[in-house]
Amino acid sequence: MAVRESFGLVNYVISQLGGTGPKWQTDADLSLMVVVFAGAWAGTAFSMLLFISALRNVPRSLKEAAALDGATAWQTFRHVTMPSIRPTSFMVILLATLGAMKEFAMVQAVNGGGPGTANNLIVQYIYTTGFSRAKIGYASAASMILLVILLVLSLAQLYVNNRREAQ
């Protein structure tokens, strides 16, 4: 059975302009791009909610003091707002990184790790090893490796964040 990839808004617009749409599911690079874009889009609302909350908590007195000192909007943003929302930025980056590393549902829903195994992420590998091949011990070991990778990433981001705050 051939995969029909001529559906969707983007392919419809391209076909109306006289072209042929790309092969979203059978091109490994395009299918990974779709997963990355969909994952970023899905996480945007939560990230923006955190940023809006952080921006509302920036002390108004600091902004007013910067304005009285003659700071431009860019200078106020750079020297007052950015340092005030740095802890939130750290959390958003950390949560987004950890979420991207353990993304399973989006990849399975969009392309099932395909075409073939071209876009199998480590979580898909753990799933297929543990459930499809029934190698539970091997999948558990791969899960522990994922845990170590996520722990190293978290500690590295924490180190960079603490180093910036110390300056």
User: Within 13 A of 160's CA, how many CA atoms are on the CB side?
Assistant: 11
d(CA 68, CA 62) in angstroms, rounded, equals: 10
Chain mean position to CA 37: 9
**Highest mean pLDDT of the ranges 29-33, 98-102, 141-145:** 141-145
Confidence of residue 74 (pLDDT cuts 50, 70, 90): very high
Evaluate if residue 156 carries a pLDDT over 90. no
Single-letter residue type at 85: I
Structure tokens at 103: 């993304």
Instruction: Give the pLDDT score at 96.
Output: 86
Structural domains of the chain sorted by starting position, each given as residue range(s) with its CATH number in brackets: 23-166 (1.10.3720.10)
Find out whether 98 and 9 touch, Cβ atoms under 8 Å: no
Find out whether 76 and 67 touch, Cβ atoms under 8 Å: yes
- pTM of this prediction exceeds 0.75: no
